[in-house]
């Protein structure tokens, strides 16, 4: 039997010196198959970003983290990552940012330019090739960040609250953009967000994480007809039902940390 694309088993993460240790994650189990769009939601500080960073190879935890059966211990081109802060290289133009990963792979210049051009068209930023990130709006920057990651054709896409810094309207536009790109490329996506609506709208599966130390409390399978328009989806009864279910559970996690009473 082929191993799942992503397999996380009994993952724990500790921060800090022994006297003042913080347990960020506790025995997290998660399995993601190829082509899935999985989102992790949870209260702030629950460790969901930490999980993503460990999967990306930027941090180390104890337990099993495997991609296609092989253990993960360092960053790599197979796992592309997009951060909330865009993380564009400010000294490079839009064109050079998108082409960055292609350059590290020593892809020939003409081929590189073709690919970059294609992605610039894809994200609708024709005419901005020579601009620097500081000249772009938040939405444009995020589009460049996505294009930069996708241009290297990673097998897995890791998204760390990618639209958190954008205003509500731009966020909706970017969500649809992401959905469009995903349906075209069918990558395996693991996203982290605190926006439940966003999670339910975009993903095939939503995992709810508990307060720190984070564990996966429950997983929800989301089955929506995504070929419909945004309006149809968001206003449908199925969407509302799924969103409410997830939201109640997330709320319970948030509240359990603050001691505020809930209606059960």
Partner 1 sequence: MTVSNRLRTALSFSGPFVIFAALWQAASAWLAPDPTMFPGLGAIAYALVRLSASPELWSNLGISLARNYLGLALAIVAGVSLGSCMARYPIANGFFSPLVGATYSLPKTALIPLLLLWLGVGSTTDTTAVFLSCLLPIVVHSYHGAKDTPRVLLWSAAALGTPDRALLPRVMLPSSLPQIVTGTRIALGFSYVVTIAAEMIASKSGIGKLIFVYGGSGAYDYLFATILVIIVVAYLVDQAYVRLTATLLRWHHWE
Residues forming contacts to partner 1 in the complex (CB under 8 A) are: 53, 56-58, 74-77, 79-81, 83, 85, 87, 89-92, 100-101, 104-105, 132-134, 148-149, 152
Shortest Cβ distance from residue 86 to partner 1 (Å)? 8
Complex with partner 1: residue 36 or 161, whichever CB lies closer: 161
Complex with partner 1: residue 92 or 248, whichever CB lies closer: 92
Shortest Cβ distance from residue 105 to partner 1 (Å)? 6
Beta carbons within 10 angstroms of residue 24's beta carbon: 25
Distance CA 192, CA 199 (A): 8
Complex with partner 1: residue 77 or 235, whichever CB lies closer: 77
Complex with partner 1: residue 49 or 210, whichever CB lies closer: 49
Shortest Cβ distance from residue 217 to partner 1 (Å)? 28
Shortest Cβ distance from residue 238 to partner 1 (Å)? 35
Burial of 92 (0-12, 13-18, 19+ CB in 10 A): middle
Shortest Cβ distance from residue 162 to partner 1 (Å)? 12
Q: Report helix angle 109-122 to 138-150, nearest 10.
A: 140
Shortest Cβ distance from residue 182 to partner 1 (Å)? 18
Complex with partner 1: residue 52 or 249, whichever CB lies closer: 52
Burial pattern 222-257, b for ≥16 Cβ within 10 A else e, equals bebeeeeeeeebbeeeebeebbebbbebbebbbeee
Shortest Cβ distance from residue 34 to partner 1 (Å)? 19
Distance CA 229, CA 160 (A): 25
Spatial contact of 21 and 14, defined as CB atoms under 8 Å apart? yes
Structure tokens at 181: 């790109």
Complex with partner 1: residue 66 or 87, whichever CB lies closer: 87
Beta carbons within 10 angstroms of residue 37's beta carbon: 25
Complex with partner 1: residue 149 or 204, whichever CB lies closer: 149
């Amino acid at each position: 039997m082929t191993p799942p694309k992503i397999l996380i088993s009994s993952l724990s993460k500790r921060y800090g010196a022994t006297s003042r240790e913080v347990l960020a994650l506790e025995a997290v189990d998660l399995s993601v198959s190829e082509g899935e769009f999985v989102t992790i939601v949870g209260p702030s500080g629950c460790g969901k970003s930490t999980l993503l960073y460990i999967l990306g190879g930027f941090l180390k935890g104890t337990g099993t983290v495997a991609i296609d059966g092989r253990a993960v211990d360092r960053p790599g081109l197979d796992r592309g990552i997009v951060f909330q802060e865009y993380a564009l290289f400010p000294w490079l133009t839009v064109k050079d940012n998108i082409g960055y990963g292609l350059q590290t792979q020593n892809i020939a210049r003409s081929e590189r330019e073709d690919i970059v051009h294609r992605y610039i068209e894809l994200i609708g930023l024709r005419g901005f090739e020579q601009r620097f990130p500081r000249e772009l709006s938040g939405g444009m920057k995020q589009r460049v960040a996505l294009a930069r990651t996708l241009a290297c054709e990673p097998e897995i896409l890791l998204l760390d609250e990618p639209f958190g810094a954008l205003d509500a309207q731009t966020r909706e536009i970017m969500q649809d953009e992401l959905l469009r790109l995903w349906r075209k490329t069918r990558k395996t996506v693991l996203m982290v967000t605190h926006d439940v609506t966003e999670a339910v709208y975009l993903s095939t599966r939503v995992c709810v994480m508990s307060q720190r130390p984070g564990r996966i409390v429950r997983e929800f399978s989301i089955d929506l007809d995504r070929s419909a328009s945004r309006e149809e989806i968001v206003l449908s009864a199925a969407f509302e039902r799924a969103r409410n279910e997830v939201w109640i559970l997330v709320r319970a996690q948030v509240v359990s940390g603050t001691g505020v009473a809930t209606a059960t």
